[in-house]
């Protein structure tokens, strides 16, 4: 049994379904068959998957060959260090060789990197192709596939080149999560927890009480977890597509996380969800330091992050080291910097986020001294 959320912009600019269930990919592709029939289809997929008979990717390709005019598959490595201009050029040249037309459609099949760069290339080719997202990681299912943010990383920072380009449909199959390596699965829970912390204490309680069932992908717990995460994000994006206001709270933990990832040149010692988990805990510790929230709230957040097998401090990652000054400089590459001032998403309590852009720089420097061992 699947669940559907419709994400609708308040002025009618976009309106599309997010469908969540088990073993639903082909079933729901049929649901949007009119977008595909007799058209050229490009499937950009994570090379983690293969085209063995009876695999999900094989079945998807087999079905497309029946209804599309032509189908081309392109595989790329789903790593943040590959979400760059080089891979973008590769995709552009590869897709243009297929003699695409303006009604051609892109399907992204993979994690957040695939969705981000695949969505970006679809937004710029022929001034905009339609695309469908089929996210295969938990992080992509609950976060990057929803809301239309696409883009690539640069040496200056994460996601600094990109567009807002909404998909025609998002198809989320929770069954496919069982194919994920444990580290990738756990990383996705950082974004799930984030939703509870920014605006839904009841969801926080649900995650806290049912963590063991959710971690082990038990139904209906995992489906509800994905559904609730997408529902919260959809509500925010519908009100603020281009992050001119409330959408900024979705970046809880990300200002610190992106600085760490960029400083590491996106090496796999620290993957995105792990960086976000640390960033969330840092945001709560900074909130407490500024007397915005109680220290007891910080401890609750750290406890929940730990339950989902994620780090709470950067010093827990023994294979990496940082210079505080370098991390501080990287903070200024954040997209939320305005008039040269840093903007942080902090919390007054669990379920109540706020945007803070008036923190003294020396306060941040001193905070980093407490957080980062040199």
Q: Which listed residue (72, 168, 194, 233) is catalytic?
A: 233
Q: Report the phi/psi class of residue 308: left, alpha or beta, with left for phi > 0 and alpha for psi in -120 to 50.
A: alpha
Q: If you classify domain 3-179 with CATH, what class do you get?
A: alpha beta
Selection from 220, 137, 148 nearest residue 172 by Cα: 137
Q: Please give the C-alpha separations between residue 102 and each of 31, 130, 146, in angstroms, as whole numbers.
A: 22, 9, 23
Query: What local confidence, expressed as pLDDT, does residue 199 receive?
Result: 96
Residue 161 parent element (H or E):
strand 157-164
Is 149 catalytic? The answer is: yes
- Token pair, residue 107, equals 């399907």
Nearest C-alpha neighbor of 345 from the set 282, 298, 300: 282
> Are 3-179 and 182-371 the same fold in CATH?
no
The burial of 83, by beta-carbon neighbours within 10 Å (0-12 exposed, 13-18 middle, 19 or more buried), is given as buried
User: Among this protein's residues, is 102 annotated catalytic?
Assistant: no
Phi, psi of 78 (to 5 degrees): -90, 75
Choosing from 39, 40, 72, 149, the catalytic residue is 149
* Distant-in-sequence, close-in-space partners of 289: CB < 8 Å, separation ≥ 6: 363, 367
The closest alpha carbon to 283, from 371, 151, 361, 207, belongs to 371
Set 158, 165, 168, 272: catalytic member: 272
Whether residue 243 lies in the annotated active site: yes
Q: Please, which residues have CB within 8 angstroms of residue 293's CB and are 6 or more apart in sequence? A: 284, 287, 346, 347, 348, 349
From the list 83, 165, 251, 285, the catalytic residue is 251
- Is 165 one of the catalytic residues? no
Tell me whether residue 291 is one of the annotated catalytic residues: no
With beta carbons less than 8 A apart as the criterion, state whether 160 and 123 touch. Answer: no
Residue whose C-alpha is closest to residue 342's, from 329, 352, 354, 353: 329
Please report the pLDDT score of residue 51 as a whole number. Answer: 85
Catalytic residue check, 258: yes
Cβ atoms of residues 159 and 266 within 8 Å: no
* Residue 191 is a catalytic residue: yes
Of the candidates 184, 243, 274, 297, the residue annotated as catalytic is 243
Q: Which helix (H) or strand (E) holds 234?
A: helix 221-239
Domains of the chain, by residue range, sit at 3-179, 182-371
CA distance 228 to 215: 16
Tell me which DSSP letter residue 125 carries.
G
CA 269/CA 257 separation, integer angstroms = 13
Q: Quick check: 123 and 115 in contact, CB under 8 A?
A: no
Global confidence as pTM: 0.94
Q: Is 208 exposed, middle or buried (0-12, 13-18, 19+ CB in 10 A)?
A: middle
Report the 10 Å Cβ neighbour count for 368. 22
pLDDT tens digit at each of 374 positions of the chain? 789 999 999 888 999 999 999 999 988 888 888 889 999 999 999 999 988 887 899 999 999 999 999 999 999 998 899 999 999 999 999 999 999 999 999 999 999 999 999 999 999 999 999 999 999 999 999 999 999 999 999 988 899 999 999 999 999 999 999 999 999 999 999 999 999 999 999 999 999 999 999 999 999 999 999 999 999 999 999 999 998 899 999 999 999 999 999 999 999 999 999 999 999 999 999 999 999 999 999 999 999 999 999 999 999 999 999 999 999 999 998 888 888 889 999 999 999 999 999 999 999 999 999 999 98
Helix, strand, coil in percent for the chain, rounding step 5? 50, 20, 30
d(CA 307, CA 210): 10
| pLDDT computed for residue 247 by the predictor | 94
Query: Which CATH architecture does the domain made up of 182-371 adopt?
Result: Up-down Bundle (1.20)
Which one of the listed residues 39, 168, 191, 261 is annotated catalytic? 191
pLDDT for the residue 90: 97
């Amino acid at each position: 049994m699947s669940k559907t959320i419709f994400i609708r912009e308040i002025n009618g600019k976009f309106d599309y379904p997010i469908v969540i269930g088990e073993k639903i990919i082909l079933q729901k592709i049929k649901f949007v068959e009119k977008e595909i029939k007799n058209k050229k289809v490009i499937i950009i997929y994570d090379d983690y998957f293969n085209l063995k008979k009876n695999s999900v990717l094989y079945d998807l390709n087999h079905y497309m060959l029946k209804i599309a005019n032509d189908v081309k598959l392109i595989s790329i490595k789903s790593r943040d260090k590959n979400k760059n201009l080089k891979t973008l050029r590769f995709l552009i040249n590869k897709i243009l060789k297929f003699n695409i037309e303006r009604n051609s459609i892109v399907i992204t099949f993979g994690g957040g990197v695939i969705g981000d760069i695949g969505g970006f290339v679809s937004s710029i080719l022929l001034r905009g192709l339609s695309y469908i997202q089929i996210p295969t990681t938990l992080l992509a299912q609950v976060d990057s596939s929803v809301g239309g943010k696409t883009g690539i990383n640069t040496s200056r920072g994460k996601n600094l080149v990109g567009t807002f380009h909404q998909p025609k449909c998002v198809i989320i199959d929770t069954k496919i999560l069982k194919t994920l390596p444990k580290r990738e699965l756990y990383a996705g829970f950082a974004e799930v927890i984030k939703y509870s912390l920014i605006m839904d204490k009841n969801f926080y309680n649900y995650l806290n009480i049912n963590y063991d069932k959710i971690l082990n992908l038990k139904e209906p717990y995992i489906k509800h977890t994905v559904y609730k995460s997408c529902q919260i994000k959809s509500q925010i994006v519908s009100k603020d597509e281009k992050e001119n206001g409330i959408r900024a709270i979705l970046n809880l933990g990300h200002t610190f996380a992106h600085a760490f990832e960029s400083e590491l040149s996106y090496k796999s010692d620290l993957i995105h969800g792990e960086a976000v988990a640390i960033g969330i805990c840092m945001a709560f510790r900074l909130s407490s330091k500024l007397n915005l929230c109680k220290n007891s709230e910080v401890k609750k957040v750290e406890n929940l992050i730990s339950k989902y097998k994620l780090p709470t401090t950067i010093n827990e990652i023994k294979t990496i080291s940082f210079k505080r000054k370098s991390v501080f400089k990287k903070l200024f590459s954040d997209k939320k910097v305005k008039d040269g001032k840093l903007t942080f998403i902090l919390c007054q309590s669990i379920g109540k986020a706020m945007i803070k852009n008036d923190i003294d720089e020396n306060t941040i420097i001193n905070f980093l001294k407490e957080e980062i061992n040199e």
